[in-house]
Amino acid sequence: MAGTSLTRAEKLFGLFAGLFVLFHLAAFLVLSHRPNLVTVLGNISHLVPVLLAGIFCAAAAWRREGSPRVFWLFLTIGLWLYLVGMLYWFIWEVILHRPLPNPWPMQETPVFLHSLFFLGAALWNPQRKRNLLDVYRNAIDFSLVFVAVIFVYLYSVISFEIVTQNSPSYSSNWNKVYDIENLTLVLAFAFLAWKSSYLWRRVYSLLAIGGAWHLVGAALANRAIDLDRYRTGSVYELGLIPPYFFFCFAAFHFLQHPELIKEAEPRKLSLGKVTYSGLGQLFTWLSILLIPATDLLVRHYSSHPPALRAFRTDLTLITVLVVTTLAAMRHGLVQRENRRLFGALTRSESKYKFLVEASHDLVYRTSARGEWEFVNDVCQQLFGYSKREMLGRHFTEFIHPEDRPAAVEIHRQVENGKSIRSYENRI
């Protein structure tokens, strides 16, 4: 397959990534007696791959058009949000020399949101051309998912810090929600890699590997932070630095092989009877159901202070209002598209009917059982019967008895998918 081998630039970049990780490990071992220097190197080592991944994804978005541009733009936004969170960390530790707060919503919120934009990229199928209505509908689908995820974040995480200042509950719930978000992202990219081919399969595979590595690394690091065991520049960084080199390589590989983009025209992505284009609608309804269901379950199985319950009730009502508005907008777009498709179908049927009726050839259609479902005017003239007399009757009734076995065999072959160029029988 053309383009399978890596280019020289890709091999050099892979070598650079490997040496970068080894340098970090060596620095941790050699400079362990100088914790301040290790902290500075750890912060820099964490920022570099994220910065490079953001640059490469931005370049991919800039150099491509249409659906691929939106896909890489989502990834770029997610990477820059993660970079903002890491810059907070860098400023606090390296410049201000102050102990890191725990919890720290100002730093943790952009880190949480970055995976949400990665999920938006996964929901956007870059292998498919879209009309304007598709773009609007997909934008609403992402907005619904965005609102639902933010609702869960505010409801189960931020509410503890804003209303009750319950830091242990905040940290525990933040870790759980972030892990679920990252796991969903990994499964989405793995599914896309499974259903795609050529260039896009490699891109999705690299993103899935990077996402899985980050899922494990972030989970371990977050638990270590809660136990006060995490130190910047420590061995935990080996779970946080390499994942973003996979994101770098995915964008770099995409830029290195523009000739393969056309080969990536997909089969229709489906999982059972659920098509990829239907996943957005599935997420829409899940988002609508998730919000009130979450509040009902929490109220039933948990007891919280009145202030927290009031905050969550107000949040639920506001979110339901926003989601209902977005769902109504999406329904309006679907109705508009259905009217357009119905109009196109009506025009197509009119054109088809005109061509068939105007034809000087015999044109008919039968059911699987061989009963006539449609005949044109030439059939009436040739057989001497009206359409009303012919429709619903078996076609062999109008064939010479000696030619019926051969005609039935031809009909069976056609029903089994065989292409018959021509055959003759008497009527």
pLDDT per residue over 231-249, tens digit each?
888 888 888 899 999 999 9
Q: What is the pLDDT of residue 262?
A: 53
Bigger pLDDT: 128 or 229?
229
Q: How confident is the model at residue 363 (pLDDT cuts 50, 70, 90)?
A: confident
* Alpha-carbon span 45 to 2, nearest angstrom: 35
pLDDT at 8 over 50: yes
Q: What is the pLDDT of residue 182?
A: 93
Q: What is the pLDDT of residue 272?
A: 44
pLDDT at 2 over 50: no
Give yes or no for a cis peptide into 103 (omega within 30° of 0): yes
Q: How confident is the model at residue 282 (pLDDT cuts 50, 70, 90)?
A: low
Side-chain-facing half-sphere of 372: CA atoms under 13 Å: 21
Side-chain-facing half-sphere of 302: CA atoms under 13 Å: 13
Tokens linked to 170: 């905040």
pLDDT at 129 over 80: no
Its pTM stands at 0.74
pLDDT at 337 over 50: yes
Tens of pLDDT, residue by residue over 41-77, are 888 888 999 999 999 999 999 988 778 889 999 999 9
Strands, E assignment, 242-391: 270-271, 274-275, 364-366, 372-375
pLDDT at 293 over 70: yes
Average pLDDT over residues 397-420: 83
Contact 178, 157 (CB under 8 A): no
Q: How confident is the model at residue 215 (pLDDT cuts 50, 70, 90)?
A: very high
Bigger pLDDT: 231 or 421?
231
Average pLDDT over residues 101-124: 87
Residues facing 241 on adjacent strands = none
Residue % of the chain over a pLDDT of 70:
91
Bigger pLDDT: 328 or 182?
182
User: What mean pLDDT value characterizes the chain?
Assistant: 82
Residue % of the chain over a pLDDT of 90:
22
Q: Could you tell me the CA-to-CA distances from 14 to 7, 81, 248 in Å, in that order? A: 11, 25, 10
CA dihedral 202, 206, 207, 210 (to 10 degrees): 170
Bigger pLDDT: 350 or 310?
310
Bigger pLDDT: 319 or 277?
319
Strands, E assignment, 28-171: none
Bigger pLDDT: 284 or 116?
116
Average pLDDT over residues 207-212: 95
Spell out the residues 6+ positions from residue 109 whose beta carbon is closer than 8 angstroms to its own.
85, 153, 158
